[in-house]
Structure 1
Amino acid sequence: MTSSKDLEPSKIPFYPNVFFSNQFKVRAQWPSTSTDLSGQTAIVTGSNVGLGYESAMQLLGLKLSHLIVAVRSLHKGEAAASTMRKQYPKAKIEVWLLDMCSYESVQSFAKKVEASLARIDIVILNAGLIRLDYQTVDTTGHEECFQVNYLSTMLLVILLLPTLKAKGPPGKPAHLTIASAALTLVCEFPHRDKTPLFPAIDDPKNFDRGDTYVVSKLLAQMFLWNLVDYVSANDVIINLADPAFVRGTDLSRGIGGVVKVFFSLFGLITGRTPKVGASCFIDAVVTKGKESHGCFLMSWKIHPFSALLYTPQGKVVTQRVWDETLAEFEFAGARSILEAMKV
């Protein structure tokens, strides 16, 4: 099957055509009724609320044996896990700390996965946030949305790869899905020509409340474009999945006031339910196979990346994103990890 890289970029206007179709016209795809995840282990980040919680519940509903609830608040994670355990008493459900604002926490989490799990089949990296005001992460100095949605997420991807390859399901690749966004298709990425790029993203003068979240998701598409050259679909299937606009999630926890009210009302009118939104992640890790490796999934189908990635300028920016990301992760030995994945 043709991958996102091989598809022609979409020429259909996003508003209203693509947005309307994605939100209202497409029908949800659900796993086969015979799907049985008995014996399997899954990690879902940000799984105490919203899409993460619903994704975890759907996996448990498919008889998942072992779930890792990865959250920044152990108290909130345990509260969510308590509800899960009542509904699915046969499953082993653990709550592990993962703070996506901290590289140290990301590294500790990845080490715990390697040391504690005998098997790992599924990873859903759902944790993320939207910020309408400029804030930096104290420990890294990066803008918070950029840090959580892109940098820490990609570091976690890299650090988990060797374990997923070594401890995936017998005779099959493990699945790793990263939450994405359809709005990447219309992301303007205004500072894409800056060299170096990351300091420009971090510059408070360049902060754009309407673009920051989407840029963080576009960067993930760019990173994945090159990442698949290092990771075989026979070892780990990696993809990006758009859940569309979903009401009732914790994504907008960084938004307040009138804007939060608008988001809530807009969600009530146009948003998918968390159940339907989460089904996109479940489809990506349970139903989709090697054909989805390195792809952007939207409306439960393989979809082209943002049109920017297919242009000569976009290819230059994509390479710059790759180079600056690996330079950022030198402290974690990211380059050597990726080179070893080729073996």
Structure 2
Amino acid sequence: MKKSLLNSMIEQWLVVPPVETTDLSGKTVLVVGANVGIGLEASKHFARMHPARLILACRSESKGKAALAEIEQETAYNGCELWIIDLANFASVTAFADKFDKEGGDLHLLVMNAGILQSDYQPTTDGWESTLQVNHLATSLLSLLLIPQLVAAGRKSSTPSRMVIVSSDVHHWITLAEEVKSSTKPLETLNSKELERMQSRYYESKLLNLFFVRALTDRLQSITPLSAVAVTPGFCYSQLRRSWYEKPAFSFASIMLAIRERLLAWTPEQGSRQLIFGAVGGRDKEADMKGGYVARGRVEEVADFVLSDEGHRMQDAFWNETVDILTSVSDKVAPIVQDYLVPGASAN
């Protein structure tokens, strides 16, 4: 599928489908990146469905507590829990997963919403460019580490568990550098300061999110009661772009962003409806949801590059390198990959 910028703009003017609802009694829901924006609004929608547990995973304790209070005030739901996680720190992610293994029990819905958009190169203490680590590597790490809890819940339930990872329509408009395409270690190449392309780094990270969902789906047996779903929330008002708001008030970038938001942006609540659909919608077509890409309340075809032979090759290359990197981060990754996944189709 080729989606032009014009088509994307037109979609922003269309009516947003209503939010999906279901009964989440007895279910555990985990939303990572839940204290502001679409993550907070999605958490409110989940709260109205009365899950047994709704865990908000946030980096800031103070903002997380404010989100808990806001959710309870607006929904009268008092089953929220605040857990702290910092995706810019692998040790924080593995500690979170260890805590969930001990205290979380089965996990029915996982929503990986946390992400950042940086305008300059900022490495983490783990040595990775921060957007690559937060948006892709740490998101993939936590998703893999929670597979046992997701599968356990799916086996006990009448419906498969869902893993929802927030991607974006920007994956349609990114072209990977030739150095990345030809590299045997594309992530390491992207991480190089010499290949600093911060103007496209967020786009690249959202493509990697989509690659991860599709590669994971290729490696999950069809009988495994877990569906991984990629979601685009659309173009919304968001604190994701707060670094751009900090630019000089009358800079060209800040003026163009303000105009674009005024003309096109959805509210965070409207964007959150796509996360909810990815988590609870499409149950009558579960096979379509597995590895699907959700946009405006339906499964939509992804970019032509993702579907191409070259796209499949890059998807496998990024998957293999991601697993290798994360295996060195946590000794639990390799056993999970071995016990729950099978080789991808291209590896057969």
CA distance in 1, matches of 2:105, 2:213: 27
Q: Which of 233, 241, 254 in structure 1 is aligned with 2:243?
A: 254
Residue 165 of structure 1 aligns with an amino acid whose one-letter code is V
Q: In the aligned structure 2, how far is the partner of 1:110 from the partner of 1:265? A: 41
Please name the residue that 1:93 is paired with: 80
Match of 2:123?
136
Q: Which residue of the partner structure matches residue 346 of structure 2?
A: none
Structure 1: any 5+ residue segments left out of the alignment? 1-9
1:90: how far off? 4.1
1:296–1:303 CA contact under 8 A, matched in 2: yes
| CA shift for structure 1 position 338 | 1.7
* Cα pair 2:230 2:292 within 8 Å, conserved: yes
The reply to whether residue 22 of structure 1 matches residue 22 of structure 2 is no
Q: What are the within-5 Å matches in structure 2 for residues 1-343 of structure 1?
A: 10-11=1-2, 13-17=3-7, 19-32=8-21, 35-138=22-125, 140-168=126-154, 170-190=157-177, 191-232=180-221, 234-247=224-237, 249-255=238-244, 256-257=246-247, 258=251, 259-260=253-254, 262-289=256-283, 290=286, 291-331=288-328, 332=330, 333-342=332-341
Alpha-carbon shift at residue 195 of structure 1 (Å): 3.1
Q: Quick one: distance in 2 between partners of 1:207 and 1:173? A: 40
Q: CA deviation at 1:61?
A: 1.8
| 1:314 shift after superposition | 2.1
- 2: CA distance, partners of 1:339 / 1:97: 29
TM-score, normalising length: structure 1: 0.89
TM-score by length of 2: 0.88
The count of corresponding residues between Structure 1 and Structure 2 is 328
**1:203–1:132 CA distance, 2 compared to 1 (3 A):** same
Greater share of helix: 2
The one-letter code matched in structure 1 to 2:233 is: P
For residues 261 and 128 of structure 1, the distance between their equivalents in structure 2, rounded to whole angstroms, comes to: 24
CA distance in 2, matches of 1:120, 1:68: 10
* 4+ runs deviating over 6 angstroms: none
SS of equivalent to 1:240: strand
SS of 1:210's equivalent in the other structure is helix
Supply the distance in 2 between the matched residues of 1:101 and 1:263 (Cα, whole angstroms): 26
Q: Is the 8 A contact 2:216 2:228 kept in 1?
A: no
How far 1:281 moved relative to its partner?
0.5
Query: Which structure would you say has the larger RCO, counting Cα contacts within 8 Å and 6 or more residues apart?
Result: 1
SS of equivalent to 2:218: coil
Whether the 8 Å contact between 1:46 and 1:126 is mirrored in structure 2 is: yes
Preserved contact between residue 189 and residue 211 of structure 1 (Cα < 8 Å): no
- Give the AA of the match of 1:339: Q
8 Å contact from structure 2 (residues 220, 341) kept in 1: yes
Q: Look up the SS of the partner of 1:123 in the other structure.
A: strand
Hey, what's the Cα distance between the residues in 1 that align with 2:292 and 2:143?
15
- 8 Å CA contact 1:44, 1:126 repeated in 2: yes
> After superposition, what is the alpha-carbon deviation per residue over 1:123-167, rounded to whole angstroms, capped at 9, x for unaligned?
1110001111111112x2111111100000011110010111113
Residue 4 of structure 1 is matched in structure 2 by none
Contact 1:64 1:91 (8 Å CA) reproduced: no
Which SS does the other structure have where 2:211 is aligned?
Answer: helix
